[in-house]
Structure 1
Amino acid sequence: MKRTALTIFLGLVGLMGGNSLAPAQTVYPEKSLQLIVPFPPGGASDVVARIIGGELETRLGKPVIIMNRPGGGTTIAAKEVARSAPDGYTLFFSSNSSFTLPAAVKESVPYDAAKDFEPLGQVGKITLALVTYKDNPVKDVASLVAEAKANPDKLSLASFGVATVSHFAGELFKSSAGVKMVHLPYKGSAPAMNDLIGKHIQYHVDTVIAVKPQIEAGYSATIWVGRARRSGWRVSVAAR
């Protein structure tokens, strides 16, 4: 399968108009900033956002408040940012999929991705992984495909939200493998991983940042890592 990566973008709303800051304003920032994340605490975006937020606080000298706004395939958070005052104090930390995937699968979205946001830069790329609970005898892609073909529409494959890159990666896997599995969308990585560890779901697609602690603690097992090269943190799992 082709490599799948999550590219994180830091977006500042409202600068497209060109006059978001008053001409007389010479000092920025004058107050605290909000950094809105479209996922609950514990996921990759949340973890990285808190690292970035801490660095921004150090450099800007003002508090940066992390606001988690999960749900709606990231559209709830994106809508809040798009409708906020265009004064430079509301930042959006999300994947580039927030600006592409919802519009591709929904009849409408409550914002214009091309006009309501201004990208500040790419922070990084995060690899996706397909994982299962630790006692599952299925430990590789071939075994999973065989199990899914023998039990069509009986195995669960979770994602961290509808119309997210996790959801699309899972659908791509099913399509490429020619299998039928039940998609179970969650509002973020943490609740999905909790249910996976508790064996309430069988398989889950998430970011390496979200699943790595559970893998290393022995609570879950890796089926596949979406990289062109062997994973550096899980050397027993080869990229497919």
Structure 2
Amino acid sequence: MKRTALTIFLGLVGLMGGNSLAPAQTVYPEKSLQLIVPFPPGGASDVVARIIGGELETRLGKPVIIMNRPGGGTTIAAKEVARSAPDGYTLFFSSNSSFTLPAAVKESVPYDAAKDFEPLGQVGKITLALVTYKDNPVKDVASLVAEAKANPDKLSLASFGVATVSHFAGELFKSSAGVKMVHLPYKGSAPAMNDLIGKHIQYHVDTVIAVKPQIEAGTVKVLAVFSGKRTPYLPDVPTLAELGYTGIDFASWGAVVAPKGLPPAVHDKLTAALEEIVNSPSVIERFTTVGFEPGFMRYSDWAGAIGKETAEMKEIAQRAGIKEE
């Protein structure tokens, strides 16, 4: 009788207190997130990442810390993210500089962009521009090409990293124009731009985001852009295609990804937040102010998209003579 009563009593306790004894359901996020950027502060990716990070922080209710990890043509940062825990606390904002170009020019890449990352979404594109310092006597692309042909391997053309979109675009231009210029890779946009302004280098390929403030400050001039159509941010600047360098239509697209294997609920929450951010009128206005062309896109087949573009970039790399340095 006592045993029966005890059994009934324990059963009632289980019914009444079962919820309190069960493991608590965690609510993501419980702590701060890090958004890793493969360039130093001040460059195009850094500017966009800080806008996205601030907006994510507001929507998720936890700090989003921007972590700059330059070097290796963006592969150092990408490798770090690829090997991080897929828990939603490590995110990566980068471009084709990390996801397709390294595999197009390198014998070995320390990650597989098609398999090691889980996309949260593409957030937009950035136009690339060919720039020089303000008082360079060379006024246009035709004059630059003439000077480069007269002085092969004497003029410098900088990029913001080996195998980045900046490097790739520069090599495309040299190949199309039939000129030989010395490639000077930098660890990021900001140091390259500083050396251009200081006249330590003659020419540089950079993003409109990085170039626009310098145009307004009167320190650089833009000779041409690499997009197929003129950018609304620099409507008076011609495209290389319209100047006769056909086949050049190249841009930097940006995406936010995480290590492969995110819990579905975490993936969905982050993707929804990111889409809301990119479509927000106030964010669109801020992006537009700095020269970023916003446009959210979900990837239904990330691996397929990355594989297709990588193959296209390999073909261009072989034709343009882009090689790992």
TM range (shorter): 0.7 to 0.9
Gaps of 5+ in 2: 219-301, 305-316
Separation (CA, whole Å) in 2 of partners of 1:133 and 1:2:
94
* Superposed displacement of residue 8, structure 1: 62
The residue that corresponds to 1:239 in the other structure is 324
The residue that corresponds to 1:157 in the other structure is 157
CA deviation string 1:147-205 (max 9, x = no partner): 11111100000000000010010000000000000000000000000000000000000
* 1:183–1:94 CA distance, 2 compared to 1 (3 A): same
User: What is the TM-score when the length of structure 2 is the normalising length?
Assistant: 0.60
CA contact (8 A) 1:10 1:121 kept: no
* 1:155–1:229 CA distance, 2 compared to 1 (3 A): closer
Q: Which structure has the highest helix share of the two?
A: 2
CA contact (8 A) 1:4 1:169 kept: no
User: What is the TM-score when the length of structure 1 is the normalising length?
Assistant: 0.80
* Superposed displacement of residue 97, structure 1: 3.0
Name which of structure 1's ranges 206-215 and 96-105 shifts more when overlaid on structure 2.
96-105
Separation (CA, whole Å) in 2 of partners of 1:176 and 1:95:
24
Name which of structure 1's ranges 4-13 and 85-94 shifts more when overlaid on structure 2.
4-13
CA deviation string 1:8-28 (max 9, x = no partner): 999999999999999974411
The residue that corresponds to 2:64 in the other structure is 64
* 1:177–1:23 CA distance, 2 compared to 1 (3 A): farther
Question: How many matched pairs?
Answer: 230
* Superposed displacement of residue 6, structure 1: 70
* Superposed displacement of residue 215, structure 1: 1.1
* 1:13–1:4 CA distance, 2 compared to 1 (3 A): closer
* 1:179–1:195 CA distance, 2 compared to 1 (3 A): same
* 1:21–1:169 CA distance, 2 compared to 1 (3 A): farther
Classify the secondary structure of the residue corresponding to 2:20.
coil
CA deviation string 1:104-153 (max 9, x = no partner): 11111111212210111111110000100111011211111111111110
The residue that corresponds to 1:185 in the other structure is 185
Separation (CA, whole Å) in 2 of partners of 1:173 and 1:106:
20
CA contact (8 A) 1:159 1:166 kept: yes
Tell me the C-alpha RMSD between the 2 structures: 17.3
Overall identity of the aligned pairs, in %: 97
Name which of structure 1's ranges 63-72 and 136-145 shifts more when overlaid on structure 2.
136-145
* 1:75–1:83 CA distance, 2 compared to 1 (3 A): same
Q: Which runs of 4+ in 1 moved over 2 A?
A: 1-26, 228-232, 237-240
CA deviation string 1:56-95 (max 9, x = no partner): 0000000000000001011000011011111110000000
Q: Which structure has the highest strand share of the two?
A: 1
CA contact (8 A) 1:8 1:94 kept: no
